Amino acid sequence: MTVAIEAREVVFSFGRTPALRSANLAVEAGEVLAVMGPSGSGKSTLLHCLAGILVPDSGEVWFDGTRVDKLSEERRSALRRSSFGFVFQFGQLVPELTVVENVALPLLLGGVKRAEALRRASGWFARLGLDGMEQRRSGELSGGQAQRVALARGLVAEPRVLFADEPTGALDSLTGEQVMDLLVGVAREQGTTVVLVTHEARVAAYADREVIVRDGRVIAPDRIAS
């Protein structure tokens, strides 16, 4: 199998507080990977390093034959627009925009003309059970509806890798399951690699594989007891 994205001996600290200590992780193309661990273990920091949001203090991050950690901020931003999608715990929709404009935002930032971006964004609403909500604002949506909009925004540009950081953390169990069904289903349809950060076993169960981040290091589940 082809490795889509990889961290090699990644070290990162917030000031004097270490977050990652020689973390290693390779995610295969098309794989849905769950990254688990307690609060403060470094799992979200690892996701942010993989996505080029944070630059490691040392170590390497590779994507598509490119050292992400060696790119300039401008080139890392361009990579996040062109190849990466994101879904966060609270959706982080832009309240000033309509729902369809929120979905279209990655396309607009990537240079797609407005009419085409809105057309492509509109195609997601029936798919995600949001028909007729295109002109609403984020404040008019339930938590589950807002997170489905965030999911559409994360996938609308057909990214190579989708980073999902606690995407069901603010949802009840039933709504969280619906969002995960959609996330995994659409990702598999598009062949998107998913790096899913969660502390919930029921969410991790949707993944092909899971790893644990503990004290800033990545541990395979079968090694936890050793």
Q: What is the pLDDT of residues 36-89, one digit of tens each?
A: 998 888 999 999 999 999 999 999 999 999 999 999 999 999 999 889 999 987
What is the CB neighbour count within 10 angstroms for residue 92? 13
pLDDT at 91: 63
Q: How far apart are CA 54 and CA 2, in angstroms?
A: 24
Q: How far apart are CA 144 and CA 142, in angstroms?
A: 5
- Cβ-defined contacts of 118-127 (< 8 Å, 24+): 120/156, 121/152, 121/156, 124/152, 124/155, 124/156, 125/100, 125/152, 127/152, 127/186
pLDDT at 220 over 90: no
Residue 95 is given by DSSP the state: T
116 within some domain: no
Average pLDDT over residues 161-184: 87
Q: How far apart are CA 95 and CA 104, in angstroms?
A: 14
163 within some domain: no
Averaged confidence pLDDT in the chain: 90
Range of the domain at 15: 1-83+194-226
Q: How far apart are CA 59 and CA 22, in angstroms?
A: 7
Average pLDDT over residues 83-111: 89
Q: Is the dihedral of CA 40, 41, 44, 45 positive or negative?
A: positive
Residue 33: how many CA atoms within 13 Å on its side-chain side? 26
Weakest mean pLDDT among 22-31, 86-95, 135-144: 86-95
pLDDT at 210: 95
Residue 57: CATH number of its domain: 3.40.50.300
pLDDT at 59: 97
- Copy the structure tokens of residue 165: 């950081």
Average pLDDT over residues 24-39: 93
> Number of folded domains in the chain?
1
pLDDT band at 226 (very low <50, low <70, confident <90, very high): very low
pLDDT band at 199 (very low <50, low <70, confident <90, very high): confident
- Are 141 and 133 a contacting pair, CB within 8 Å? yes
Pairing mode, if any, of strands 66-67 and 58-63?
Answer: antiparallel
Q: How far apart are CA 60 and CA 164, in angstroms?
A: 21
120 within some domain: no
Q: Which residues does 136 contact at the CB level (< 8 Å), separation at least 6?
A: 98, 99
Residue 18 is given by DSSP the state: E
In three-state form (DSSP H/G/I as H, E/B as E, the rest C), the secondary structure along 109-132 is HCCCCHHHHHHHHHHHHHHCCCCC
170 within some domain: no
Average pLDDT over residues 120-130: 89
Query: Nearest to residue 27, comparing CAs of 204, 210, 222?
Result: 210
pLDDT band at 225 (very low <50, low <70, confident <90, very high): very low
156 within some domain: no
68 within some domain: yes
171 within some domain: no
Average pLDDT over residues 139-154: 89
Q: How far apart are CA 167 and CA 52, in angstroms?
A: 19
pLDDT band at 223 (very low <50, low <70, confident <90, very high): very low
24 within some domain: yes
Average pLDDT over residues 3-26: 95
Average pLDDT over residues 145-150: 89
